[in-house]
């Protein structure tokens, strides 16, 4: 797969074709995104328009303290459109994991991108270490704290997407005793709340990122309605429990008591095995990962990974 960082801003459909992808398949994919956004299949052409027309929004993608699992999940998705669209429908100027440039050249790319007079969107992955003025996390000899402060508070930064639970809420780095005092973006920069969208999950479903970008493009830079944790209600408006296919068994009082049991295989509820679905807001049962499955369907309890402090608050993970 070839990524379009640095490609000329030509026609998106032509570039999709260059990747061997047909318009028909593209529309089918847009239908999947529409469904994740709670829209019917008839909205697929509108989604396609949002992704293929208009000026491509400049995007910079910062990495902080994390495992890079969010980027890995994004790049390794089985859906061929996800990565192509993310890198073709937007103008991704800076992404440390996949960009060819390094060192001073990379720094130049970043500074050029954030100087775009039309503004830019910043996607952030990873938490920011704040102890001792941020010295526990550096890129190019500058602390992540300094870099994020410069980029996210830049006058040209139109929106911030905190992608993954680390960026949204601190994630694993912030688990007790949190020696680096790692924090989520809004914990460090609370004033950014009006323009920040949290897409938590460990990792999040890439469809939720694409859907957020589609909404942003369709609505001239407006951000979707958010819940009290800055998560888009479109994707995080219902609990995992409400959407779970094992819910009828929960309601019937049918609980599996061990993983290797006939009841677990028959689809009985995993609550007694530690499932945190009732306390967790996300659309995993509806959207599934790579459109195929999700943890509870595979027989593993939900561990609450899209909630703040889930490492501390949701453990023990197994009942
Ligand atoms: S949210 Fe999870 S998958 Fe993403 S970077 Fe953090 S630890 Fe890794
Ligand atoms: S398996 Fe979990 S999410 Fe599903 S019904 Fe049981 S408690 Fe709820």
- DSSP secondary structure letter of residue 230: S
pLDDT at residue number 237? 97
pLDDT at residue number 12? 61
Average pLDDT for the chain: 91
Please determine, for residue 181, whether its predicted confidence score (pLDDT) is greater than 80.
yes
**What mean pLDDT is predicted for residues 247-255?**
98
For residue 174, the ligand closest to its alpha carbon is 1
Residues lining ligand 2, CB < 6 A? Answer: 240-241, 244, 246-247, 250, 269-271, 275, 277-278, 296, 302
- Which of 203, 206, 303, 307 to mutate to test ligand 1, by most ligand atoms within 8 A of the CB atom? 203
Atom of ligand 1 nearest to the CA of 201: 1
Band of the pLDDT at 88, cuts 50, 70, 90?
Answer: low
Taking the C-alpha atoms of residue 204 and residue 263, their distance in angstroms, rounded to an integer, is 29
Token pair in block for residue 145 = 């704290």
**What mean pLDDT is predicted for residues 71-89?**
75
Please determine, for residue 5, whether its predicted confidence score (pLDDT) is greater than 50.
no
Ligand 1 pocket, residue 202 CB under 6 Å: yes
The pTM of the full predicted model, rounded to 2 decimals, is: 0.92
Atom of ligand 1 nearest to the CA of 164: 1
Taking the C-alpha atoms of residue 174 and residue 165, their distance in angstroms, rounded to an integer, is 10
Describe the strand order of the beta sheet including 91-95 as a list of residue ranges: 91-95, 58-63, 120-125, 157-163, 196-199
Residue 306 falls in which region: left (phi positive, over 0), alpha (psi -120 to 50) or beta = alpha
Ligand 1 pocket, residue 200 CB under 6 Å: no
- Which of 239, 241, 248 to mutate to test ligand 2, by most ligand atoms within 8 A of the CB atom? 241
Please tell me whether the peptide bond between 238 and the residue prior to it is cis, using omega within 30 degrees of 0. Answer: no
Q: What does the pLDDT look like over 189-248, one tens digit per residue?
A: 999 999 999 999 999 999 999 999 989 988 989 999 999 999 999 999 999 999 999 999
Please determine, for residue 7, whether its predicted confidence score (pLDDT) is greater than 70.
no
């Amino acid at each position: 797969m070839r990524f379009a960082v640095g490609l000329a801003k030509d026609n998106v459909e032509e570039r999709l074709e260059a990747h061997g992808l047909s318009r028909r398949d593209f529309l089918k994919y847009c239908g999947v995104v529409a469904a994740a956004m709670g829209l019917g299949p008839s909205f697929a052409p509108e989604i396609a328009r949002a992704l293929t027309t208009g000026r491509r929004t400049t995007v910079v993608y910062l990495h902080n303290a994390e495992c890079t699992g969010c980027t890995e999940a994004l790049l390794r998705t089985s859906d061929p459109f996800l990565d192509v669209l993310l890198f073709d429908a937007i103008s991704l100027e800076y992404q440390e994991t996949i960009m060819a440039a390094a060192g001073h050249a990379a720094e130049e790319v970043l500074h050029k991108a954030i100087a775009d007079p039309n503004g830019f969107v910043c996607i952030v992955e990873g938490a920011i270490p704040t102890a001792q003025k941020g010295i526990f996390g550096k890129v190019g000899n500058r602390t992540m704290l300094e870099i994020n402060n410069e980029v996210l508070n830049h006058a040209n930064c139109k929106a911030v997407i905190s992608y993954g639970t680390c960026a949204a809420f601190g994630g694993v780095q912030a688990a007790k005793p949190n020696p680096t005092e790692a924090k989520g973006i809004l914990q460090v920069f609370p004033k950014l709340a009006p323009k920040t969208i949290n897409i938590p999950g460990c990792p999040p479903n890439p469809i939720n990122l694409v859907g957020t970008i589609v909404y942003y493009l369709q609505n001239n830079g407006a951000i979707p309605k958010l819940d009290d944790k800055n998560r888009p209600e479109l994707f995080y408006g219902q609990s995992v429990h409400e959407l779970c296919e094992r819910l009828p068994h929960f309601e019937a009082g049918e609980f599996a008591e061990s993983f290797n049991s006939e009841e677990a295989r028959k689809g009985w509820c995993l609550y007694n095995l530690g499932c945190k679905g009732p306390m967790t807001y996300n659309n995993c049962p509806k959207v599934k990962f790579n459109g195929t499955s999700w943890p509870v369907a595979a027989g593993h309890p939900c561990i609450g990974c899209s909630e703040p402090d889930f490492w501390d608050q949701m453990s023990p993970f197994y009942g």
